[in-house]
Structure 1
């Protein structure tokens, strides 16, 4: 169950960052409320996953999910660059997350 909590936490991180972008520096209330809600979800489920997963593994995977998810959503919804080097380094993050899971 801890791994499911960690995945939910990572997705909450992606949601929080996305809504933070939509809040326009916390000037728009809907984006601000979304950032707060998803931030709470992210930290709550991260804390639950830390009960069974070592902090080094959980935090690395949590930041990896957040980083990759944010880059992908930025490319899809915010018109950010799809440069091959960016995609290459995202793939390295994914490989690193898989490696952390394998050695946990």
Structure 2
């Protein structure tokens, strides 16, 4: 069950980093809404990460959490913020995904 909490925490990390991107692009009241979203996503992510680390090894949980966040944020950057795509970016994203899966496989 804590692996599920960890995966959801990683997805919330993608949420708060995406809000950062929107905060950078907006002004006025919209900027405050994105900031509020950032805070909510951040709190949810941290609380779920804390819950997951109660039974999962801290190093593994943190690596998986940041990996999910990194991969998700890069993909959001590509699809939402129209960041550049090239072979090397996709290659290194795939190595992150394989590393996350590998950590899950070797964790007890």
Into which bin does the TM-score normalised by the smaller protein fall?
over 0.9
Moved more, 19-28 or 81-90: 19-28
Measure the CA separation in 2 of the matches of 1:25 and 1:56: 34
Question: TM-score of the superposition, structure 2-length normalised?
Answer: 0.92
How far is 1:26 from its partner? 8.9
Question: TM-score of the superposition, structure 1-length normalised?
Answer: 0.96
Structure 1 spans left out of the alignment, 5+ residues? none
1:86 aligns with 2:77: no
**Alignment RMSD (CA, Å):** 1.3
Moved over 3 A (4+): none
- Number of residues paired by the alignment? 104
Larger Rg: 2
Moved more, 35-44 or 16-25: 16-25
Structure 2 spans left out of the alignment, 5+ residues? none
Measure the CA separation in 2 of the matches of 1:48 and 1:26: 33
Q: 1:15 to 1:48 in 2, by over 3 A?
A: same
